[in-house]
Each structure stands twice: as C-alpha cells, then as structure tokens.
Structure 1
Amino acid sequence: MAEVTNGQTNGPANQPQLMLQKIYVKDVSFEAPNAPQIFQDVAELTEAPQVQLNLSQRATGLGNDMYEVVLSLTLTCTVNERTAYLAEVHQAGLFGIAGFSEADHASIIGSYCPNLLFPYARHTISTLVQEGGFPPFLLQPINFEALYAEQARRMAGGGEAPTLNS
C-alpha cells in the first residue's frame, strides 16, 4: 500500500489496495417449528437426519471503492420429513477494494471475501443449532475459489450463471 505522510503519498498512487473494514452479522434467524415433539423424534431416530445447506452471496458497491459483501447460509434439518430446525445467517463484511483489474476485482468479491466471512458464519450457525437444543453441527469447509471458477467458466461459455447453492 502507498504510505501517507503529512498528506503526501509515497509510492504509486494506483497501487492495488484491499482493506477489511468490518465483519458483522447482518441478519440471523433460528426456528424449531416442531419443538418440543421433535426432540423425542431425534432421540428415537433410526436414520440420519436430512440436512440441506443453501449458500448465496451478494456484493453492493457503497461508493469510494467500498463494498458490502454478504454471505448467506441457510441450514435446514429434517427428521422423518418434519423440519427439526432452520438456521439462517447473513454474515457481512465491509471491504475497501481499489486499483485491481476488473478480473481480479471480481475474483476478490467472488472468492476472497466469502472465504474470509465463512468461518464467522459457520461459527454462528453451529452456535444457533447447539443453543437450540440439537446436537452440534459443524459445516465442512467450502472451496469458494472452485465455486467462483465454475461460475466464471459457465458465464464465459454463455451458460446461465449458477447460484451458489450447496
């Protein structure tokens, strides 16, 4: 990064800069619509619960090279075709991104930022599930670089851009 001393910049003014300003929870929700009966179903369970993860992200330009990136995770667990719980978190971050090529800028938004936000979202989901009275659940790591590369490949091939659902 260029250094600023007494109002003067030392180094190239157009040097690429990536700065994390803040990480925060934008929205969080937990529902156990079939409690307390579902706890008995879980205790008597003979087959594994079905767990579905939906994942998405969005980026919003805020001006002055600032971007809000929001990683959304929705985890739905069903037991015997009944919803045990639904946990959702929108983990957000404010990023300063300047001086990058268009391709590098898109890659930062599409893979670097979600990689940075994911551990926070994973922790929040795990805490919600456990505090909701269910066995701990740890989301496996997600390769956002591979997801971004696949999305870029599909867009370059004229295909429809996929949503980041797992």
Structure 2
Amino acid sequence: MADQEIQVALQRIYVKDLSFESPNPVEVFGQNWKPQVNVEMQTRNRKIAESAYEVSLEMTITAKNGEKNAFVIEVEQAGIFVIKGLEGENLRRLMGTFCLTILFPYLRETVDSLCLKGSFPPLVLAPINFDQLYEQSMKQQHQQQQQQPDQPHA
C-alpha cells in the first residue's frame, strides 16, 4: 500500500458552550483576594462528515476565596478539523494532542476575558502539554486492561 499524504486543515474555531457564575460577589469583593482555583478538563471528538471531525476542549474552573465561591466558569471551546490520511490510533493521537493544542489558547483567552468582565483579576491558565497528557492516558488505559481478567467469550 502506498503511503497516503496526511492532510490537516482547520475549518473553524468556536465557543460551543459558556457559563459564568458569581454567586457571592458582594462578600468576595470585600475580602482579600487569595483564591483557591480548581480546574477540571474533558475532551471530546466526533466525526461529523467525511474526513471532518469536531474536537472540543471543556473546562470547569472554580475559584473560592475563603469559604465562598468567587466564580465558576464552564467553557467548551471547539473546532472543526478536516483530517485525511490518518486512521485509528494515529487519528486519535492527532485529535488528542495537536487539535487540542490549537484550541487551548482560544479557551484560555475566553477564561481570562470572563474573569475581567466579572470584575475579578485576570486568570491566565498555565500551558498544557497535551502530548504528555495523551501518553499518560494511554499508559493508564493499558494498565487497566492488564489488570482486568480475561472475560470468556460467549
């Protein structure tokens, strides 16, 4: 089989879902600002057409100042990528690393902007090494598969 040329083209980047909540602004603004920030992240991808995939990066950021929730941001940044010449694990790896690396700066800017619009100090999310996270995830899956006993086939 001849090597097929790999093509990756970004078609569109967009905010798919967005939420900003500040349940206790009066109490929080009156305190010295020393937040505890928790970040949760999920990724998704799905085939939407021939060679076209929607890849999304979701984050929930919760900032507490003392005992009070200062704000909660939920954002899903997504993109449509046309990917040709890759299948299986190579395709999953590209979507789980390269595509997320493209989306992250847009999500990061959205989070920072929302904090400022909510009258909070800027929140600049630290860079994420999606290649390293992907490798860790693959190792975890491999270990889990090794720990599961073989199931008899019916």
| Residue matched to 1:121 | 107
| CA RMSD after TM alignment | 1.8
Shift, 1:139, TM fit: 0.5
Shift, 1:115, TM fit: 0.6
| Residue matched to 2:35 | 49
Shift, 1:19, TM fit: 1.0
| Residue matched to 1:132 | 118
Gaps of 5+ in 1: 1-11, 161-166
- Distance, in Å, in 2 between the alignment partners of 1:50 and 1:88 is 16
What is the aligned-residue identity percentage? 37
- Distance, in Å, in 1 between the alignment partners of 2:113 and 2:25 is 18
Letter matched to residue 105 of structure 1: L
| Residue matched to 1:74 | 60
Equivalent residues, number = 145
1:26 aligns with 2:16: yes
| Residue matched to 2:136 | 150
- Distance, in Å, in 2 between the alignment partners of 1:16 and 1:140 is 31
Gaps of 5+ in 2: 147-154
TM-score by length of 1: 0.81
- Distance, in Å, in 2 between the alignment partners of 1:126 and 1:81 is 23
Shift, 1:128, TM fit: 0.1
Shift, 1:13, TM fit: 9.4
Shift, 1:155, TM fit: 1.6
User: Could you say what secondary structure the match of 2:123 adopts?
Assistant: coil
| Residue matched to 1:97 | 83
User: Could you say what secondary structure the match of 2:5 adopts?
Assistant: coil
Shift, 1:60, TM fit: 1.1
User: Could you say what secondary structure the match of 2:17 adopts?
Assistant: strand
Of Structure 1 and Structure 2, the greater helix share is in 2
